[in-house]
Amino acid sequence: MKIGAHVSTSGGLHTAFDRAKAIGAECVQFFESAPQQWGTARIDDAGVAQFRETMAASGLAPAFIHGKYLMNLASADAKIFKTSASTLRSSLNLAGRLGVRGVIFHTGSHKGLGLEAVFDQICEAATQVLAETPDDTWMIFENSAGQGGTIGSKFADLGQILKRIDNSRAKVCIDTCHAFAAGYDLSSSEGVAAAMRELDGEIGAANVAAVHCNDSKAPLGAGRDLHENIGEGHIGRAGFEAIAAHPVFADVPFLLEVPGYKIDGAGKGPDKPNIDLMKEIRDGVAAPAAKPTRRR
């Protein structure tokens, strides 16, 4: 289980790796460009070569692109829907050029219509995009907190989408904060075990491509997407110990998207203290063979 983070790419996509290393990340996620605006990153072949060299030299892997927040494959607005599908396609094409594992994205919102009303539209668009993008990239659907009709708050919803698409490149990313806010009690080992049984039954553990590792400011089932630093929210340290110890996640990259500790008034995103804490949790629960005389 690698522990990594979402980092800025200010100054060029290749700068993600130095920033990730500086905070001790072992894997990385980034936006290709401003996530609140349409338009994909323009990067020429020299830039791609520089990115690939920097990535290889850093030893950090895997890397992921986080898709645009504006994308909504469930939109009833034809223009937004088309732009969403073409943006997902260009992001996956970019992932192929850069040699990163894939694109993690929010499916979108049905805005109250219900998943059934938009299910065909989502699955057909995803299938089409998969047909037009590189075979070695993954299209990774992220679970939601369920706010405002966002798709994927229930593992069964994501599982249905994956089954219908029926393509081994379609995967999921589980955001721990979103899952908790959607009612999966990840704050205890019993809760984690129950949630993972459901996840394995509905989605299949092998389809989990990444975890967004975030504590939750909002309580269980609040349906609100509010990330908190590891151990400072309602999931808490015990919850992350249970998550790190669960076999479903043994080989899954963890990416922190936490606010960061407040040093000069405001947190600046995932930082070394959060990563160090998550590594300490991982190493404490997941390496019994290396520490046979460990005492508690």
Positions in the binding site for Zn ion (CB under 5 A): 142, 225
CB closer to Zn ion, 66 vs 282: 66
- Shortest Cβ 181–Zn ion spacing (Å): 9
DSSP state, residue 205: G
Residue 198 CB, nearest approach to Zn ion (Å): 20
Q: Residue number with the shortest CB distance to Zn ion? A: 225
First to last CA, the chain: 22
Distance of CA 158 to the CA centre of its chain: 14
Q: Which residue has the tokens 């393509």?
A: 167
Phi, psi values for residue 183, rounded to 5°: 110, 0
Q: How far is the CB of 247 from Zn ion (least distance, A)?
A: 24
* Cβ distance to Zn ion smaller for residue 142 or 157: 142
Smallest gap, in angstroms, from Cβ of residue 67 to Zn ion? 8
The token pair at 124 is 């057909």
| Contacts of 132 by beta carbon, 8 Å cutoff, 6+ apart | 89
**Cα dihedral: 51, 52, 56, 58 (round 10):** 10
Q: What is the C-alpha separation between 122 and 3, in angstroms, rounded?
A: 31
Q: Which is nearer to Zn ion, 32 or 142 (CB)?
A: 142
202/225 with CB nearer Zn ion:
225
Nearer residue to Zn ion within complex by CB, 217 or 245: 217
Question: Please, what is the minimum distance in Å from the beta carbon of residue 180 to Zn ion?
Answer: 11
